[in-house]
Structure 1
Amino acid sequence: MFDPVQLRTFLTVAQTLSFTQAAHRLGLRQSTVSQQVRKLEAAAGRQLFGRDTHGVELTEDGEAMLGFARTILEANERAANWFTGTRLRGRLRFGASEDFVLTRLPEILEGFRRDHPEVDLELTVELSGTLHERLRAGRLDLVLAKRSEDRPQGRLVWRDRLVWIGGERLRIDPDRPVPLIVFPPPGLTRARALEVLERHGRPWRIVCTSGSLNGLVAAARAGLGVMAHTRGLIPPGLVRVPERAGLPDLGAVDFVLLHGERGRRDGPARAAAEALAAAVLAGGDRLQRAPSR
């Protein structure tokens, strides 16, 4: 009933909430993307997107279609792999920042391991800045991380905003330096937080540094201070710092997939990297649409 090509286009638009960005990612004309979405809406007999001058949003039926589309496409891929006898093999060195590993990434990796059991997957969990460095050094084949300002390349998975978070009882004294809970260098959220505070002339002091997200979350829950974090991935027990605290806006952050040289040139590694990249992109709507707190 539903065309897999149209379903993939639908998922891409849902991930980006932009027909223009979806067309760029898919290598299609924007008119083609719009046409495929209209055909899918006609097949479903429901409107899947709400469109106005401000942007694109999923309708209630569009939200429902997300789960159906993923299930249909995953089933198609498993069936195709079974009957064509294709089996991915080789070693794949994948790096992901801790934000993802503690939230939605496990289900994506579980599906990849189920579909490609002969791929030797090596997972590295690190700060985004460290992952970028290891990718440049040839120590990783594929990376899922925040976009680095000095490396603007990469396939967009989703975009979110950085916000200040802390414990529910935390109160910020406007007459004292902002107490910061941060990753060590080269953490990208750390760099953004310090740059924004400096630009707005807001004094700050570091009260906790940890290379582990669990360590940062524990410090924040204890009320030691505030931390910069992705709005859609706020850990349980922490909340957004209210605007009345007067902390400056941290702006948006992009989460991207980047291929290393070996992941582009080596045959088995390239095939495995492309398969995992496709799984991450297909699940990007789950990450992007994680409930905000």
Structure 2
Amino acid sequence: MLTAIGFTDDNAAMLNPVWIQTFATVATARSFTDAGRQLGLSQSSVSDHIRRLEGSVSRRLFVRDTHSLALTPDGEALLVHARLILESLARAESQFSGPRLQGRVRLGTSEDLAQGPLPNVLAAFRATHPDVELEITIGMTSKLYEWMEAGTLDLIVGKRREGERRGVPLFRGRLEWLARPGTVVDVRQPLPLILVNEPSVTRSVVLDTLAKNGWRWRVVCTSSSHSGCIAAARGGLGITVRAENLTGGGLVPPVNFDALPALPDVEFITLAARRLTEPADTLLQLIRKSDLRAARVD
């Protein structure tokens, strides 16, 4: 039950949660006496809470006579807010009254997600569960699969190839061409590609798309990381590719991007080990509920 800690008669908040709880109980019970019995309060205390709440909001909340008790229109409106307030307080009390999560989570993630919105999710998890140790491994999704099969990862956030069934989908992101600002690509020449090394989902998708549509290309630079590709593109060596949701590093589509072949979507997924600890499962559920498309980093 809520207590009036922090509230005094002379210094009460307009929506004192104790008064709000009393009000909601009276509104449901339609009786001051029954509400007092449920709350363990005397009828006079219940009346006092309602009187103070009505005074603080400057509204009549109930219409009372000797035989009935009914909400006024203002009372009905306040009841909607009261229920939301009490639900929020109950969730907060549940979180902070329960045992704190402890342990370790071994998370594997692709670099493009690590450079994009994923850190915001990890920060939220860390703020709520400060006693959990996060061990983060960044790598190509194919390598992350290998490490999970070897038992060295609990969770994976990465990409999967078209037709694969492993993992739970998070979102799809369309691939887009990126280059140094002001770049105009000469489409009469083989496209100068900057790509990550094999094996790479993104690399395979790009080269398959170009081959199917009859485009010529030459790989002018390869890197073991997306950061290396971004650096090469910023240096003007050629054009690279990333999902539009995760674009970063100061790159932009080429001036004549509409003359380049359209690229398909790639699917981002989560994959979990068969047996998860409570901290790992808690992080997994947070990631799956988060919209990782929401934060684009330029």
The answer to whether the superposition gives a TM-score over 0.5 is yes
- 1:210-265 CA-to-partner distances (Å, cap 9, x unmatched) read 122221111111111111211122114211235666322221122111102343xx
The question of 1:130 aligning with 2:143 is answered: yes
Q: Return the offset for 1:117.
A: 2.4
1:289 aligns with 2:272: no
- Secondary structure (helix, strand or coil) at the match of 1:288 reads coil
Deviation at 1:124, TM superposition (A): 0.3
* Secondary structure, aligned partner of 1:100: helix
Cα contact 1:166–1:241 (8 A) shared by 2:
yes
Segments of structure 1 that go 5 or more residues without pairing to the other structure are 1-42, 44-72, 264-268
Alignment check: 8 A CA contact 2:108 2:136 kept: yes
Letter in 2 for 1:148: R
Residues 5-24 of structure 1 mapped to structure 2, 5 A cutoff: none
Aligned to 2:104: 91
Task: Give secondary structure in 2 for the equivalent of 1:201.
Answer: coil
2:96 alignment partner in structure 1 = 82
In the alignment, the residues of structure 1 paired with residue 164 and residue 173 of structure 2 have an alpha-carbon distance, to the nearest angstrom, of: 18
Residues 164, 259 of structure 1: alpha-carbon distance in 2 compared, 3 angstrom cutoff: same
Matches of 1:96 and 1:240 in 2, distance apart?
25
CA distance, structure 2, for counterparts of residue 165 and residue 74 of structure 1: 44
Contact 2:105–2:279 under 8 Å retained in 1: yes
Query: Structure 2: which amino acid aligns with 1:282?
Result: K
Instruction: Judge conservation of contact 1:182–1:208 (CA < 8 Å) in 2.
Output: yes
- Does 2:166 match 1:153? yes
Distance in 2 separating the partners of 1:99 and 1:179: 21
Relative to 1, partners in 2 of residues 1:74 and 1:180: Cα closer, same or farther, differing over 3 Å? farther
Larger radius of gyration: 2
How many residues were matched structurally? 214
* Partner Cα distance (1:140, 1:246) in 2: 42
Distance in 1 (CA, whole Å) between partners of 2:182 and 2:103 is: 50
Per the alignment, residue 260 of structure 1 pairs with 273
Judging changes above 3 Å, is the alpha-carbon distance between structure 1 residues 94 and 180 closer, same or farther for their aligned structure 2 residues? Answer: same
Distance 1:128 1:75 in 2: 41
**Which position in structure 2 is the counterpart of 1:27?**
none
Q: How does 1:218-237 map to 2 (within 5 A)?
A: 218-237=231-250
Pick closer, same or farther for the CA change 1:75–1:135 going to 2, 3 Å. farther
Structure 2: gaps spanning 5 or more residues: 1-76, 78-86
| Among 251, 270, 279, the residue aligned to 1:272 | 279
Distance in 2 (CA, whole Å) between partners of 1:211 and 1:75 is: 48
Deviation at 1:182, TM superposition (A): 0.7
Seen in structure 2, the aligned counterparts of structure 1 residues 81 and 195 have a Cα distance that, compared at 3 Å, is same
Tell me the CA shift for residue 291 of structure 1: 4.8
Question: TM-score, with normalisation over the residues of structure 2?
Answer: 0.64
2:175 equivalent to 1:162 = yes
Corresponding position: 1:113 with 2:118: no
Query: Which string of whole-angstrom CA distances, capped at 9 and with x for unpartnered residues, describes residues 76-95 of structure 1?
Result: 76542311x23322332101
Q: What TM-score, normalized to structure 1?
A: 0.65
Matched letter for residue 274 of structure 1? D
Aligned in 2, Cα 1:112/1:250: closer, same or farther, shift over 3 Å? same
Map 1:198-237 onto structure 2 (within 5 A).
Answer: 198-237=211-250
User: CA 1:220–1:274 in structure 2 vs 1: closer, same or farther (change >3 Å)?
Assistant: same
8 A contact 1:231–1:292 mirrored in 2: no
What does residue 17 of structure 2 align with? none
1:158·1:255 contact (CA, 8 Å) conserved in 2? yes
- Is contact 2:117-2:297 (8 Å) kept? no
The correspondence for 2:198, drawn from 185, 198, 202, is 185
Check whether the contact 1:93–1:140 (CA below 8 A) recurs between aligned residues.
Answer: yes
Deviations 1:53-105 (A, max 9, x none): xxxxxxxxxxxxxxxxxxxx99876542311x233223321011111211222
1:24-52 CA deviation, whole Å, 9 max, x = no partner? xxxxxxxxxxxxxxxxxxx9xxxxxxxxx
Moved more, 273-282 or 194-203: 273-282
Cα pair distance change 1:75/1:273, threshold 3 Å: farther
Cα root mean square deviation, aligned: 2.7
> Partner amino acid for 2:208?
E
